[in-house]
Structure 1
Amino acid sequence: MLTTSSYNQLKNAQMAFEKLNAAKPSIYRKFINIIKLTRQLQFGYQYMGALIMDEDPGEFNSTSKDDYVLSVYYREIENLKTDNKFLDLKQLLKTYKQLSYANISKLALGEKPEALVGPTLVR
């Protein structure tokens, strides 16, 4: 699937994450930790986003076959989802979903919107 992100959309998403970090740093920090864990385990951001948003992760399934690693990953995502501030994060992700969870994750990690403008292949 191919998605296209405009600079304005990316900039708005970046500002929304900055506001979330300022207003609710604990949920923002948990989200950043999930992003880093996703990257460390070499899972896809789309897989992560689908799990967080209760979507079907079928086409983005992880390549890991290790049940323990998957159980730790799922437990961390459930920990994020049970936070009482999770609905704010979920609404933000829903609002900017068209940018792709990969671009959203990169913005949350501090990447500049200029670097993410244009088409993105979502796998």
Structure 2
Amino acid sequence: MLVKDVMMTLDSFPVILENVIFKEALEEMNHKKLGIACVVNQENSLKGIITDGDIRRKLLKIQKPLSAFFIDDCIDHAIVSPIVANADFTLEAAVEIMRNKQIWDLPVVDNSNKLVGLLHLHPVVEALLKK
């Protein structure tokens, strides 16, 4: 089984442009009910990710009013070198990456770093249990 057989499609998880304000990124994460947003440019190249955990750590580290975060560009709070997978990776290889890095989500990109999907742990577990 390959990553492309299980990954979420672009319309089913938060994908936001790098110049969107942070508040809108949080609203999109809340709307899609997922603790990650992928940040892309106009050409859909992956520029970074924002996760619930990264937001929590950033709020604790940076001493500024919470409302001041909301107007920042979302890329200012993104992890700009995220760990990624390719759609043609085996599911087992992707799960090994997720296990080693202790992450639940893995952006899926093509060979030119265009975002094509997201591998989320819950669908992966379901697919592996059915296998």
Report if TM-score (shorter chain) is over 0.5: no
More helix by share: 1
- Shorter-chain TM range is under 0.3
TM-score scaled by structure 1?
Answer: 0.24
Larger relative contact order (C-alpha < 8 A, sep ≥ 6)? Answer: 1
TM-score scaled by structure 2?
Answer: 0.24
